[in-house]
Structure 1
Amino acid sequence: MSLFRLDASIRTEGSISREVADTVEKAWRAEHPHAQVVRRDVGQEPLPATSWRDAVGGWHTPAEQRTPQQAEAVALSTTLLDELLDADAYLFAAPLYNYGVPQYLKAWIDLIIANPGGTSAESPLLAGRPGVLVLVRGGGYGPGAPREGWDHAGPYLRRVLGDLWGLDLHVVEAELTLAGAVPAMASLVGLADESRRNAHVVADSHGRTLAQRMRAAAA
């Protein structure tokens, strides 16, 4: 049994998305202490910016006619897809950057979808497998907030991971994480702390759910 974990934050110290994802992983490990965790950290080890372009071209070109860049991108696309398919459960940690999906996370998704085996109209890629998505936002984007509707990452990731790939997706969310650093948000520090605490409670619950689902599947 294995857990695939992807982190997209460009930060290590002070990263709330990593912190909350650690809680998910800790709860999962409590039941599977010897199981493998396969890590893909696109925030710290970003994928090459031209890989998607080269992979798309490469997949539409006979292998013997591919450029070295296309061959390399096709190999990377295959590695990423195999890495994903080999896991039994999934953990994705994604901060909101500039109102959207982190660039390197989008590149990772694009490289998998570029692979001919990355999508299927008949059977979703990860149909029914359990997964947790950690979403972290520096501001407030909920109903009634000045920037309600500006979060373009959460809906997109739910669509890809849940609707397109078929994960049984459990979502953890934390908001207002910049309240302690932005003077104009000082009055929101209490709400930010509450959101962070609640996120860890939900993360622990979802981590245990992942573990139980994996145990049941292995029985």
Structure 2
Amino acid sequence: MSNILYITASIRSDSESVSRSLGQRIVDGLATKSGASVTTRDLTAKNLPYVSAERFAANLTPAADRTPEQAELAAIADTLIAELQAADTIVIASPVYNFGPPATLKAWADLVARTGTTFRYTATGPEGLLTGKKAYLAIASGGTPIGSNIDFMSRWLTFFLGFLGITDVELVAADGIMGIGGEAKIAAARETAERLAA
């Protein structure tokens, strides 16, 4: 059975968040169609740690060689990486905050980028090790036009996933939703999400 990893990063609740609404539509459609299991990782549910020098060193130390303290520091990254490795499909639902990703999403990225595990360096440059997966990005923005020169969210996230080897990426965006016609833009994005997942 295939597995969907559903990652959410909005500080708003399910009923208030546009990105969560879009992401949930994609997940529901994909799960209904394929019968896939769903693993949900809400990045705001717990305090996701930021990378420190000690945590970075622990993450790079082979599991068998870690001290008990390092094992504790590396545990969250091990869990997040295992979720990515087990997933056939990744759905990331996130808002744009101040032209870029929420801090929790960047923290997640810093934890799952592990050389030798999710990517490796070769003579021709870095190579992603999480190949053969598909990703859907459900992004909401109050004012930043997605795909524009001031959108440092979708471009960064697409590049980061590609760095890990996940190059098949579909994007659904509801942008400029705080302005005139915002509700219509949200409705259109929801329709697109449902169509993609059908």
What's the TM-score once normalised by structure 1's chain length?
0.77
Q: Distance in 2 between matches of 1:162 and 1:88?
A: 15
Q: Higher Cα Rg: structure 1 or 2?
A: 1
CA spacing shift, 1:73–1:172, aligned 2, 3 Å: same
- Aligned residue in 2 for 1:193: 183
Structure 1 residue corresponding to 2:23, chosen from 17, 21, 24: 21
* Superposed counterparts of 1:158-173, under 5 Å: 158-173=158-173
Structure-1 residue corresponding to 2:103:
103
Name the amino acid aligned to 1:94.
Answer: S
Summarize the Cα distance change of 1:109–1:52 in structure 2 as closer, same or farther, 3 Å threshold: farther
Distance of 1:65 and 1:88 partners within structure 2:
29
- What is aligned with 1:131? 135
Matched, 1:149 2:149: yes
- Say yes or no: does 1:116 pair with 2:106: no
Q: Which whole-Å CA distance do the structure 1 matches of 2:60 and 2:144 have between them?
A: 43
Report the CA distance shift for 1:52/1:11 in structure 2 as closer, same or farther (over 3 A): farther
2:101–2:153 Cα contact (<8 Å) kept: yes
- C-alpha displacement at 1:196, in angstroms? 0.9
Aligned-pair Cα RMSD in Å: 2.4
Unaligned runs of 5+ in 1: 180-184, 209-219
User: How far, CA to CA, are the matches of 2:31 and 2:189 in structure 1?
Assistant: 18
Q: Which has the higher strand share?
A: 2
Q: Which runs of 5+ in 2 are unaligned?
A: none
Instruction: Please tell me whether the aligned partners of residues 20 and 93 of structure 2 are also in contact (alpha carbons under 8 angstroms).
Output: yes
Q: Is 40-49 or 152-161 further displaced after alignment?
A: 40-49
Cα deviation digits, residues 131-162 of structure 1 (max 9, x gap): 1011111114268xxxx522211110010113
The 5 A counterparts of 1:65-80 are: 66=67, 68=69, 70-80=70-80
Counterpart position of 2:33: 31
The sequence identity of aligned pairs, in percent, is: 29
3-state SS in 1 of match to 2:151? coil
Amino acid at match of 1:205: R
Relative to structure 1, the CA distance from residue 159 to residue 196 in structure 2 (aligned partners, 3 Å threshold; closer, same or farther) is: same
For residue 134 of structure 2, what is the amino acid of its counterpart? P
* Whole-angstrom distance in 1 between the partners of 2:172 and 2:189: 6
Separation in 2 of the partners of 1:164 and 1:84?
10
Query: How many pairs does the alignment contain?
Result: 191
- Indicate conservation of the 8 Å contact 1:52/1:73, yes or no: no
Distance 1:22 1:120 in 2: 32
Aligned-partner Cα distance in 2 for 1:56–1:115: 11
Q: How far apart, CA to CA, are the structure 2 residues paired with 1:113 and 1:102?
A: 17
Query: What do residues 2-25 of structure 1 show as CA deviations (whole Å, max 9, x unaligned)?
Result: 111000011113100001111111
Structure-1 separation of matches of 2:138 and 2:5? 14
